[in-house]
Copies of this chain bind each other. A is one copy, B any other.
Amino acid sequence: MSRSQLLEFDFADSPNKKVMVPHLTTALSGPLLELEKQVLEAMPRIEHWFRSEWLQHAAPFYGSVDLRNSGFKLAPVDTNLFPGGFNNLNPDFLPLCVQAAMTAVEKICPQTQRLLLVPENHTRNRFYLQNVAALRTILEHAGLEVRIGTLDAAAAQTVEIENGPPLKFEPLRRVGNHVLVDDFDSCVVLLNNDLSAGIPDMLRDLDQAVIPPLHAGWAVRRKSNHFSAYNRVADKFAALVGVDPWLINPYFATCGQINFHERKGEECLAGFIDEMLQDIRKKYAEYDIKEAPFVIVKADAGTYGMGIMSVKDASEVRNLNRKQRNKMSVIKEGQHVTEVIIQEGVHTFETINDAVAEPVVYLIDHFVVGGFYRVHTTRGVDENLNAPGMHFEPLAFETVCTLPDRRAAPRSTPNRFYAYGVIARLAMLAAAMELEDTAEVLDEETQDARVAQS
């Protein structure tokens, strides 16, 4: 497919205005059209099913889901439980965020009046600062007194931001089994820090409600746990709707004991890559898909798109040069990569102004509250779009994901966005199950530590 084909906008009809949405470059006529059609038709069954699932599984407080839409496959590729792009959402949907946050607070900590927000330490990133400001706005409008406590005492400062009062980062201090800033004590601590650097002692064994829980951080979390849970969710959903689960679920496998520097585990990696590429080729043949299969190799723990490779042949991981090995072996906060996940690559065939666009859907509790496109002008359709130092333009969703039009074509904008909302909710349901599955990990770790000390 040539880039020149991609120079198009779609202007979708909305009751009041024309909205700009990325153009989906594949003519939808294959399996995904079928999927979107089935999803639309099954809407009451789907919503009913979600209701019963959410009765059994508590939704995380918030999250964002990176989706890829290849025209023949629509799948989550990453689920973030400490979302950092609330500033990229359409401000028109702030009321939706506020209402959803009210519901979340009612469920998790109705008795609270105050909330202590613990952000990431990189307070020099102005985009991230805007995210913290956006989160504060949502939480304050949900009726909470919010203060910001930073784990990094050096990051304590007051920062001016656009469109709002300054952000005051105050040093967290521990008093007994509570963390406070100044004299501000709260029953609930909301983490917007993914704990890539490990779980700080400051936050362990608190009597306060910590949301999301500590084991949702990357110190404990593994992508493979998430996608194991997603396998179960996707199978159940696909059976409900009557579609091939592969249409919404990328294959994955893991290799532990990898050491890129010492070239340990390369064969494990190459073997899985080879097998997976074969599996994908079979599916492509089944659906008459002409694209070249690829897989993504990335750290099983961690975020930020560091240590990510796009691979089309197993030989590529056998011949990594020093620079590539360095790149793969370190992720955020200098953590070393020893566990790796190999994930089926999903092409992104959404483009806007000649640039590749990847949708990111935001949820608060189990409500889809908005989303945006990461629009990259310098990346290909089979590359990772969430890489460190990568510039992307956020393009806020101009419509919500909850207003499908069952009388319009499956490919119409409200229906495409409804499908995005459904797949994102599947990923959040998987995250809920993943957090249940891993709830014991920290306890065991603490016990192990105690045993080791005694």
Binding site for B on A (CB under 8 A): 15-16, 43-48, 50-52, 54-55, 91-96, 98-100, 102-103, 105-106, 110-114, 140-145, 163, 165, 367, 400, 402-404, 406-407
Tell me the minimal C-beta distance from A18 to chain B in angstroms.
Answer: 15
Is B44 in contact with A145, judged by CB distance below 8 angstroms?
A: yes
Is A96 in contact with B94, judged by CB distance below 8 angstroms?
A: no
**Which of A44, A91, A96 has most B Cβ within 10 Å?**
A44
Is B402 in contact with A111, judged by CB distance below 8 angstroms?
A: no
With A95-B93, A98-B402 known as contacts, the answer to whether A47 contacts B103 (CB < 8 A) is no
Give the CA-CA distance A48 to B112 in the complex, in Å. 7
Is A44 in contact with B110, judged by CB distance below 8 angstroms?
A: no
Q: Tell me which of B91, B93, B141, B400 contacts A402 (CB under 8 A).
A: B141
CB-CB nearest in chain B for A115 = B44
Residues of chain B within 8 A of A93, CB atoms compared: 95
With A51-B106, A110-B52 known as contacts, the answer to whether A99 contacts B402 (CB < 8 A) is yes
- For this chain, the copies found in one complex come to 2
Q: Return 14 A-B CB contacts under 8 Å, by A number.
A: A16-B91, A43-B143, A44-B145, A45-B113, A47-B102, A47-B144, A48-B112, A51-B110, A55-B110, A92-B92, A93-B95, A96-B99, A141-B404, A165-B407
Interface of A is mostly: helix
Is A54 in contact with B143, judged by CB distance below 8 angstroms?
A: no
**Which of A105, A110, A112 has most B Cβ within 10 Å?**
A110
CB-CB nearest in chain B for A145 = B44
Residues of chain B within 8 A of A92, CB atoms compared: 16, 92
Tell me the minimal C-beta distance from A391 to chain B in angstroms.
Answer: 25
Residues of chain B within 8 A of A402, CB atoms compared: 95, 98-99, 141
Q: Tell me which of B105, B163, B400 contacts A51 (CB under 8 A).
A: B105
Tell me the minimal C-beta distance from A47 to chain B in angstroms.
Answer: 2
Residues of chain B within 8 A of A94, CB atoms compared: 403
Q: Tell me which of B140, B143, B367 contacts A46 (CB under 8 A).
A: B143
Give the CA-CA distance A100 to B99 in the complex, in Å. 8
Give the CA-CA distance A403 to B402 in the complex, in Å. 21
11 additional A-B residue pairs with CB within 8 Å, beyond A52-B111, A55-B106, A93-B95: A43-B143, A44-B114, A48-B111, A48-B112, A51-B143, A55-B110, A95-B400, A95-B403, A96-B96, A141-B402, A165-B407
Is B91 in contact with A54, judged by CB distance below 8 angstroms?
A: no
Is B99 in contact with A367, judged by CB distance below 8 angstroms?
A: yes
Q: Tell me which of B45, B95, B143 contacts A48 (CB under 8 A).
A: B143
Give the CA-CA distance A48 to B400 in the complex, in Å. 28
Give the CA-CA distance A55 to B406 in the complex, in Å. 36
Tell me the minimal C-beta distance from A105 to chain B in angstroms.
Answer: 7
Tell me the minimal C-beta distance from A216 to chain B in angstroms.
Answer: 23
Give the CA-CA distance A110 to B102 in the complex, in Å. 19
**Which of A43, A47, A112 has most B Cβ within 10 Å?**
A47
Give the CA-CA distance A50 to B144 in the complex, in Å. 12
CB-CB nearest in chain B for A100 = B99
Give the CA-CA distance A94 to B96 in the complex, in Å. 10
CB-CB nearest in chain B for A146 = B44
Give the CA-CA distance A99 to B97 in the complex, in Å. 10
Tell me the minimal C-beta distance from A449 to chain B in angstroms.
Answer: 38
Tell me the minimal C-beta distance from A100 to chain B in angstroms.
Answer: 7
CB-CB nearest in chain B for A110 = B51
Tell me the minimal C-beta distance from A237 to chain B in angstroms.
Answer: 14
